[in-house]
Structure 1
Amino acid sequence: MNLNLGNVSNALIGRSLKTEELKGEKFNVFWGLPIMSSDAISSVAYAGEEILLILMPVMGLLSYRYMLYASLCIIFLLFMLIFSYRQTIDAYPGGGGSYIVATDNLGTTAGLVAGASLIIDYILTVAVSASAGTAAITSAIPSLLPHTVTITLVLITILVIGNLKGIRESSKVFGVPTYVFIFLILVMLIWGIIKINFMGYVPKSNYKIPDVSGTITIFLFLKAFAAGCTALTGVEAVSNGVPNFREPSQKNAKIVLMLLAFIVLLMFGGISYLATLYHAVPNSNVTVVAQISWQVFNGGILFYIIQAATAIILVMACNTAFAGLPLLLALMAKDGYAPRQFAKRGKRLNYSNGIIMLGLLAAILVIIFKGDTHYLLGLYAVGVFISFTLSQCGMFKRWTKIKINGWKHKAFINGLGGLLTFVTTIIIGVTRFTRGAWVVLILIPIIVYTMEKIKRHYLKVAQQLRLSMDELRKYEKVSFEGQKRYVIVPIDTLNKSFLKALNYARTISENIIIFHVSVDDEVTNKLLKKWNEYNIGIPIIVKKSPYRSIIKPLAKFIDSEEYAAGPNDTITVVLPQFVVTKWWGNILHNQTALLIKTILLKRRNIAIVTVPYIIDEN
Structure 2
Amino acid sequence: MFETLKRLLIGKPLRNDALSGEKYSVAMGLPILSSDAISSVAYATEEILLVLYPVVGILAYNSMIGVSAAIVGLLVLLTFSYKQTIQNYPNGGGAYIVAKENLGLIPGISAGAALSVDYILTVAVSISAGTSAIISAFPSLERHRVLICLLILLLIMLGNLRGITESAKIFSIPPYAFILGMVTMILVGIVKFKVTGIVPPPPSNAAIATQSSVTIILLLRAFSSGCSALTGVEAVSNAVPNFREPSTKHAQITLMLLAFIVLIVFGGISVLASIYKVAPVAGKTVLSQIAMGVFGQGFMYYYIQVTTAVILAMAANTAYSGFPMLISVISHEGYAPRQFALRGDRLSYSNGIIALSTVAAILIVVFKGETHLLIPLYAVGVFVSFTLSQTGMFMRWVRTKEPGWVHKAIINGMGALVTGVAVIIIGATKFTHGAWIVIVIIPTLVKAMLKVKDHYNAVAKQLRIEEDELATIDLDKELYRNRVIVPIASVNRASIRALRYAKTISDHVTAFNITINEEEKEKIEKKWAILNTDIPLVVRNSPYRKIVNPLIEFIESEEYDMKKGDMITVVIPNFTVRNMWHKLLHNHTRMFISGELLKHKHIAIATVPLKLKDDNIILKDKK
Q: Assess if the C-alpha contact under 8 Å between 2:383 and 2:422 holds in 1.
A: yes
Residues in 2 aligned to 1:49 and 1:494: alpha-carbon distance in whole angstroms: 73
Contact preservation (8 Å) 1:61, 1:213:
no
SS at match of 1:371: coil
- Structure-2 change in CA distance of 1:216 and 1:352 (3 Å): same
The match for 2:91 among 83, 90, 94 is: 94
Paired AA for residue 189 in structure 2: G
Query: In the alignment, does 2:104 pair up with 1:124?
Result: no
| 1:155 aligned partner | 152
- Give ranges in structure 1 of 5+ residues lacking alignment: none
Partner of 1:81: 78
Q: Which residue of 2 aligns with 1:411?
A: 409
**Alignment length, in residue pairs?**
614
1:97-121 per-position Cα deviation (integer Å, ceiling 9, x unaligned): 1100000011111111101101100
- Specify whether residues 213 and 443 from structure 1 end up closer, same or farther in structure 2 by C-alpha distance, changes over 3 A only: closer
Looking at structure 2, the residues matched to 563 and 41 of structure 1 have their Cα atoms a distance apart, in angstroms, of: 67
Q: Is the 8 A contact 1:74 1:229 kept in 2?
A: yes
The 5 A counterparts of 1:137-286 are: 137-204=134-201, 207-212=204-209, 214=211, 215-286=213-284
Residue 34 (structure 2) pairs with residue 46 (structure 1):
no
SS of 2:377 mapped into structure 1: coil
State the 1:469 CA deviation.
2.9
Alpha-carbon distance in 2 for matches of 1:608, 1:302: 67
Q: State the distance in 2 between where 1:262 and 1:340 align.
A: 38
Task: Indicate if the aligned counterparts of 1:205 and 1:281 stay in contact, CA closer than 8 A.
Answer: no
Matches within 5 A, 1:376-525: 376-476=374-474, 479-480=477-478, 484-519=481-516, 523-525=520-522
Instruction: Specify which of 12, 16, 19 is matched with residue 15 of structure 1.
Output: 12
2:271 paired with 1:287: no
Q: Which residue in 1 is equivalent to 2:305?
A: 307
Tell me if the contact between 1:222 and 1:427 (Cα under 8 Å) persists in the aligned partners: yes
Q: Is the partner of 1:479 in helix, strand or coil?
A: coil
Q: Does 1:592 align with 2:586?
A: no
SS in 2 for 1:321: helix
Q: Which amino acid aligns with 1:234?
A: G
* CA distance in 2: counterparts of 1:477 and 1:306, whole angstroms: 72
Greater shift in the superposed pair: 398-407 or 604-613: 604-613
**Range moving further from structure 2, 598-607 or 372-381:** 598-607
**2:53 & 2:517 partners in 1: Cα distance?**
73
Using the TM superposition, name which of 67-76 and 566-575 deviates more. 566-575
Tell me which amino acid in the other structure corresponds to 2:463: L
Q: Structure 1 length normalisation: TM-score?
A: 0.96
Residues 460-469 or 492-501, more deviating:
492-501
Per-residue deviation, 1:521 = 5.5
Cα distance in 1 between the residues matched to 2:21 and 2:350:
17
Q: CA deviation at 1:30?
A: 0.4
Q: CA RMSD in A?
A: 1.7
Identical positions, percent: 53
- Residue ranges of structure 2 left out of the alignment (5+ in a row): 617-623
Distance 1:545 1:491 in 2: 14
Q: Is the 8 A contact 2:380 2:435 kept in 1?
A: yes
- 1:612 partner SS: strand
Q: Given the superposition, is the C-alpha separation of residues 478 and 284 from structure 1 closer, same or farther in structure 2, using an over 3 Å criterion? A: same
Equivalent position of 2:350 in the other structure: 352
Retained in 1: the 8 A contact 2:383–2:423? Answer: yes
Mapped partners of 1:209, 1:459: distance in 2: 62
**1:152 alignment partner, SS class:** helix
Instruction: Work out whether residues 487 and 513 of structure 1, in 8 Å CA contact, stay in contact via their aligned partners in 2.
Output: yes
1:476, distance to aligned residue in structure 2 (A): 1.6
Tell me if structure 1 keeps the 8 A contact 2:205–2:281: no
Distance 1:557 1:129, change over 3 A: same
Match of 2:107 in 1: 110
Q: State the AA in 2 paired with 1:383.
A: G
Query: 2:210 & 2:434 partners in 1: Cα distance?
Result: 28
Distance between the aligned counterparts of 1:408 and 1:545, measured in 2?
A: 80
**In structure 2, do the counterparts of structure 1 residues 298 and 524 end up closer, same or farther at CA, with 3 Å as the change threshold?**
farther
Aligned to 2:619: none
Alpha-carbon distance, 1:528 to partner: 3.4
* In structure 1, C-alpha distance between the alignment counterparts of 2:419 and 2:255, rounded to whole Å: 18
- Selected match of 2:541 from 540, 544, 565: 544
Q: Which amino acid aligns with 1:451?
A: M
